[in-house]
Each structure stands twice: as structure tokens, then as C-alpha cells.
Structure 1
């Protein structure tokens, strides 16, 4: 906090002469002003320039969904205070994008006047010194009053912001409360810092619950079968290993997912484990095969001879995460079974579908891609099924052959399958069952010979539970699921992806080592598509401007990510546990209870809440395991 605001005269002197009296200005403000001047921020502007809307903003919110779900209830508690005083409260993602804004209507109107709206990017590079952007840079709570703002557009504002970090120090986002200068309240800074602390504690508690839920869900895996199976958490550390794996890897509980490969295994397939509480991903269930069986059977599907060279039009890279996917695609391609490809936007789902087609017996037939999310609902039937001449007003003279018929003899790729409306789900299911299609306005059925590959960034199983996706269609499609890793899980492939993109487009682009290091430090929420967009920008910018462009785009995320500290993970010393006579399931359950007690500080009631079981059940288990 600062005792007094910077005078307008001091601000003008710095803007015009670059001179600042460091004894009369807070260090964080002076550091920010110098950054703004170095980055050529216009002090006479300061209104929002980069504003996301529609799908782009929805993606940002989805990327920060868990953070938003924890922050919004806390913000709602502030609503009476915010409205009474005349303020606005905001939730911001790690890149400085405003995900949510609410408050008193006059304050909102004033904010809109400077384009301070939902979806705007409110960083130092965009609008100069401000509480949000400077809190991200300084990594601490901060208050910016009046002419402490670098740009004149914010000189009549008083803003308070605090960054929110996870248990390992990585930035989750920022909470901000702002008002016109005359509405500033002396308790606001303390309120914002308390709010930030509450959200951080809620995040830590949720992560603990996620870990315990994942271990509890692992108990559902059959221990007596001969499958090689693992379950790992989001940090890629193992929490479960099947009996077959435990026989070969004695110290599995101390291992990461990648280290398993050193014991002669490779990953045949993986599936996300979704929380039953908040529906987000809490870990991964992994099926392994010994390396000698890399081209072994797929149960229930006769595999034809796998081609000696697997055709993939993208860049395969060298990462274990994507190599596993390619091996899985190689196994799937010769079959004729339906496939669902899961993956975030920009991970290359269509390339994966194309690879399945190109390496299948249908490779000589058509590959027809349909983006279900881009077709208006009222046009979807005619787009997929086609129509005959005169079927409806505006129909083409000779009719239209729908995508289903176009794909006859080949592969139909239905991207964003989760966007198909209920009525079309029924029609599509019928086509898949009967292998016949009837164009709109016709009574003649056409026989179909197609393979269907679907893709989505959504959780189809959750859509089934919510009633927005038919369970019979889900099971018809969900025969061979494939999960594509996000770019942040295959960062070692980034230099190769850049080289591939440049070669494909005939670009000459040489990146210095420090630039590659920066690129590989970023988490790329837009995945490969975002990476290629960055390459396009660097291609047209002079090289001396690359650093500024990259800094303005992603530096805040780079600087706020901390390395994973595996030592911080809670562990249990098995030497102090009486495990004599306990089977593996009981040992794992006992370990889960001990972890819950450790995380709750010894409180049985809190530990029972973390595990999601009644206290009476928890006490019985304490007695059973002599805890």
C-alpha cells in the first residue's frame, strides 16, 4: 500500500524527460513505469485494444474453469460491499484477460468507456502500469491510484489487485477491485488480499480432494487381472499400479509416468479420469504393453497387416506423449471400427483422423471432414444428408449430395461431435445402425459404406449424464477412444513443429536459442494452432521486435510458472505402517486414509470430508487399520 498518490507533475516529468524521483515514488510503480517506457507504451492512450469475444473468450474461461468456479462464489460474497461503494470486481486469467466483471452499474459504464470490459487484455504492455498487469509482473498484491497509472485513460481510477497462486507457486489468475478515484475505500486492499488468500486455500483443498479421489477411484481397478495398468495424477506421478506392473516394478510408487518406459513398457492407450465433484480432469488411466508387444492385438478387432511406414502429414516429433498416440493410431488404422478423438482445441484432431484414414484399407476412398460446431442447426440436416431439387425454398437446382454420401467408400470425420443437436443425434444414430441415408425431400434410400471418426474437446460422458448427448450414440461412437496430448505435454516437439511449419510454407526463419527457450517455457493454451500463429507473426516482424512481441504475448505466463517440486508431494513412510496381513487394496486404502489425516492436521472429521465419506464410516476404517 502507498501513503499518497504520485502527483500529476511527477508523471508529466517522467513521460516527457524520463526523470523520476525514486525517493517519492513506490519502487513497484517506478519499476513499472520504466518497463512501460522501454516497451513504448503510449501514456496518452491506455484504453483496451485486445478484446476477446465469443468462442475465443469461452476458450479462455474454459482453460480457467476450475479457478473461476472457486473465485466466483468468493466474489459474490463481496457484491453488497461492491455495489454500495460503487466498485467493480474482476477475475483475470494468468495472461491478463478479464474473464468476469461485475459491479455497480455506473462504475461498469465508466469502465466500458475506456474499453475495460470482459475479454479485454489488461496488461502493462497493453495499457501501461495498472493493478492487474503490475500485480502479474511483481507477483504480489498491489494498489495503483490515479496518476500512478502510466496511461491517462486510468488516471481517474483506483485499483487493487492480488495474484492467486497454486500450491507450487504457479499463477492461477488475478482478483481485482476497481473504482473511480473518489470512490476509493481504505479497506479495499485488505479485502482483496483476504479474498485472494481464501481462493488459494480453496484451491489447495480442492487439489487435495482431487488426489484422494483419484486414489479412491483407482481402487475400482480390478487387481487380480493380468492387465498392465497405471493411474497417474495431473503432475504425472503414479498413484496406482496393477498387480502385473507391481511384479516387475517394485518401486513404482516413487516413479513418474515417463520413468515407466525404462522398465520395458510403452503406453498403448490412455483415458482421462474426471472428478465426480467438479467434472474436471484429475488424472489419467493408462494401459501399458511390454515393448515386445507394440503391435499386438486390439481386443475385438481383427488387425490387418500394419504398414511398415506409418503415414502422418503433421510433425511426429520425439516426445513420449505423442509417440504413444502415433503407436495407438497405427494399431487403430487397419480396423474399421468407429473412433472418438479427444483433445483440446488446436491439438491436431483432424490430422490424427486423417492419419487413421491414410493408413487404413479405405485410404483410396474419400476423407470428408465436417465441423459440426460451424454448421447452423437449421442447415445441419441438409448438410449431412443432402437434398433433392425442390426440397425446400432456396434449394439448389440439382439438389446437393450431403457429406454422408460424399464420404461413401471412405471416412467421415465429424469434428466437434458434441455440438450436434438432439434431433440430429437421433438421425445420425439411425444412419450408423442401418448404413443408409435418405436425402431431404427424397423417398429413395442410398446405401452407405463409411467409417466414422468423431472428435471433440468436450467431455462426452458428462454430456450423456447431463442429457445433452444420447447414450446410445455415445456407445456407438466410443469404441476406440484416443486422447491427444496438449502442446504443454510435448514441449520438446516445439522446435520440430516450428521447423515443419516453416518447411511446409517455404518460410526462412531462424530462431536464436534464447527465443526457443522462451517458446518452450510457455504453456500454449491454444496449442499447436497458437504456436503456428506466433510463427506467422514473427515471420513478418523484424527480428529486433520478436522479443517485444513475445514478451507482450506470453511473458507474464512464462515468469509466473514455477518448476514442479516433487518433494512437495505428501508421502507416507511405509516403515511406520503396520501392513502385515493386508492385501494390496487394503494397503492402498490405508495409505489414502493416512494421507487424508496428514492433510487435515489429524482432524478425523476434516479427513472424512476430504475423502467424501461419512464420519461413521471413516471411524470404522480407523479402527480396522489400527490408526
Structure 2
């Protein structure tokens, strides 16, 4: 065939001269050829050399026991469908070792001539570009025939390979059909991908069964008086004793190591848990001990930052606090952005208290609460007789009141254009002239601003001066909304209870329910709801009957179950996309129920919805 001749010429030109005509090769193939050449792979290799000794191969098969247990029945069915074709079916582990090989005697003999046998390592580094090795490296299904392979060891072969993933997206291995190049068939890759997908579904069902059995073990075994975790084989928490759940209501689904680090626990003992059906390892029972805890409700410190709030565990909020700590000791102006109710003034006070100006005044001004015609006298002050109704001895403006300290201008976006010009001049000259006076007062202040609006967009729209923006927007801080730091809600609830002298333990079910809402009003709105609960509970222990959520807080995203096809999807992705659409259709667009149908976590489903444009 002409394509075969062209391909042979391309291969020879590349291995002999290093010349690659990428326009005539699949991108993955040309990419792999170049990688193999740089790695020093021998293009004239005639047979593989890295084969495990029997004892090491037996150990590797034992380590891959779960994959073999799940996949081999489907590998056997796939082989039955191609028996007599001269091809072999292989199951490979994530390191590239062939765990199982099914084939007729003639096909096995053909494979053995190049050491394509059980226990061989069949990666790009070992034998050059090949479907198995390239699928392992890229995580994508691929088919290669003849001289598309880098080394001549595979030039007489056609190979179709697809990776197998678990529910967390981790690669479990690769499934492959290989046979004589002369018998290449365009539908082979589709059969391999479909079988790999079925294996993945079986793996997920098995994991779900394991998790249910673990949950039953947890139900029977968790002590009310001990700190105990039940984890799966990957050390993901499946269940926890009540004391642990009270401290961290969202501990399930976390890695055990993360929980231990966040809560100062120490692992005392670890006992393996085996299935009653087949003696499979299900997970572990961890017994923990607790280090003495520091109080969380007083002024918390992130190193040198004096933060009078709850630092929590949220990674995004912790990063923001670290940035605040870095800028606190400087004299730079800071702009704090964030939705209403996120605690912008608390952060501004933390910056002041942690700065070299902490002994000076902290003056907070809500620019949105001052009438435009009063703003000049409020900020700049005035002298006696400046206007009708002025105080006899005049009055210092907020700018002068902040001398030697920090001025916090909240809702800076509400300042009218005329005042923006005046404020810009004050910041440039570092002096203020009170209304009715002709004498300037020197200023030594640091300015912190905040707004819930997009200040950059206001500049683009021409409603906020660009020169003033750059004066104020020296070091921006962004406070994430509460919906993006849900893991902090349990500590915020405890913080509220402490401040309100409400000595109760919130039930875990209520904490989880409170954490499921969107909270458009953020921490302020959460505290308002908690105050209502406290009143309705009469200061006692609350229950679900005391929980009344305002209508505007409840929010469910609308999912489009009919969308245009996404261009460039692989076989596997298209199958997965169709299955997700069917699940969403069956559940009326309910993501939580769709995730249950598909046996995947809701967070994973949201990620896939975005990926597939649903």
C-alpha cells in the first residue's frame, strides 16, 4: 500500500537523518518519535530485554490483584470475540508490565519472537513508540500500525490500547489488542475502548460494594468514647467517630493524613479490614490520639498577623491571610475586594493591628453611607464658620483623625467623581485643607480601601478615575465568599456560639445542611441565621425544626441536559458524555442524584460537566 511505503520512507528519514514531516504523521506519533530519539531508544531494536524474574512477576501480579480480579473476566470475553484472528489481548499495569496475555498458540509464538510475553516491560523507554507505552504516557487511547512504531521490534504489528481509570481519575492500567500488521482493523480500537470502559464501571461498582461493607463495619465498630477513623485502601476517610465529626463535619472524603495534620491528631494504631467475601483488603481502622488544642475563638494568629476572626482550614482563605501578613508590615496602600459580608473590615483591622502603625488610630469610613454633599466636610473636616450649621470650633475630618494611623475607606466605589479628584490630590500631596480654611494640614496615614464592586470595570466604564485607582490598588487582597470556603463553616458556627455565650454542640446533620447553602450574604448572613436558630431554640440545643433558611439562600444550579456535541472528544470521552447526559435527563438535572447514578462524587461530576460543556 502507498501509505505503508510513505510511512517506511518517513521512518527511515527520521531515524537516519532526524528529519520529521510532522504534517503527515499523527501529532501523538511524531511527539513520541522525538521523545524516543532524545531518550536514546534504539530504532533497530529487534526484541524487548526487560522481563521480570518469576518471583518478581508473581509479586507484581499480587500487588495488582484487585485489577486482575475485576478485569480478567472482561479480558477473557474480549479474547473470545477475536479468537482465531492471530491477535492477542493484554492487560498491563501502570508501570508498563504485561500482567496477562491471552492468545492462540500461533499468536503467542509470534509474540514470543520479540519477547512480547507476560512480565515484559512494554513502555516507550523500553521499545519505542507503541500503543501501550504511548497510552500510558498520554492517558489516551491510541492505535498504531507497522512503521508508525519507532522501533522495528513492532513494525510487523498493529496495536490498539486504551487506559483504564478508577473513579478518582487515577490510571489502573492499560488494555491492548495486538496482532499482525496485515490484519489491522479500524474497529479494533473501539472494541478496546468499550471494554476498558466496562472494566472501569465494574471497578466503580466493586469500590462501591467495598465502601458499603466498610460502612457496615464502621456502623458496628465505631466507639462513642474513642477517636477512630475508617479509611479505604487509599487512606480516604469513609467514616469517623462522633468526636472527630464534631470537630470536622466534612472529614469524610478527605485523606487521613490531611485530617491528622489539620486537627493535631496522631495515629496510634492501624488495623487492616478484610472483606468477608473473598478476603479482599477493604481498608483500615485507625485509632488516633489528640494533642492539646489551642483556643480558636480568641484573636487568631497566622504567624505575625493579628487576625481577630476564624482563620479556618480553607486553602484559599489561608493564602489570603499569608498575603495579608506579607503586606501588613509595609506602608503600601491595600485594596480589599470581596462580596458583602465576607469580613473586609476585619481584614483591614488585622492589617492595622499587625503594622508599625498599630499604636495609632484606625479610622473606618463607609463611603456608601455618607450623602454626596456631606462627603467633603466628613473627610476633610471644616473650620469655624465654613458653612451654615458648622460647629463653632470646627471639626477634624476623617483624614486628619487618622493621622499617624490607618484610614479605612469602605465601599470606595461609591465616592462621587468630584471627591475622587480631591482625594487623589490629598494622596499625592500628603496634606489636607479643611473646608473654609486656607491652611494645609500635613498627613501621615496609610490608606486601606475596600469594595464589593469590580473597581477595574468601573475604571473601564469611566465612573472611577484611573489615576486614583492606581494610587489605591497597590496591593490587592481578595476575600473568597463563604461558598468557596465551606470547610470553615463548622468553626464559624463554634465561633458564633462562643461569642453569643451559647454553650451547645451543633448536631452534625445541621452543620452539613448549613454548609450546603450558597450564602449570598456570606458570614454576616450565616450569623444572622444562627441568631434566629438560637432564639428559636431558646438558648438550648438546636434541631432541624429550629432551622429556617431564607428563600434567597437556597440555590440549585440549572444543568443543561441537551447540548451541542463537543469537538475533539476521544471514544471514551464521548461514551462518558452520553452517559452523563442520560443520568441528568433521568434525574431532571439534579447533579447530586446524577452523581449517585453514575457512582462518582458530585465534585467530580461538576468538573466533567464543565469539561463536556453540559
**TM superposition score normalised by structure 1:** 0.46
Larger relative contact order, structure 1 or 2 (CA cutoff 8 Å, min sep 6): 1
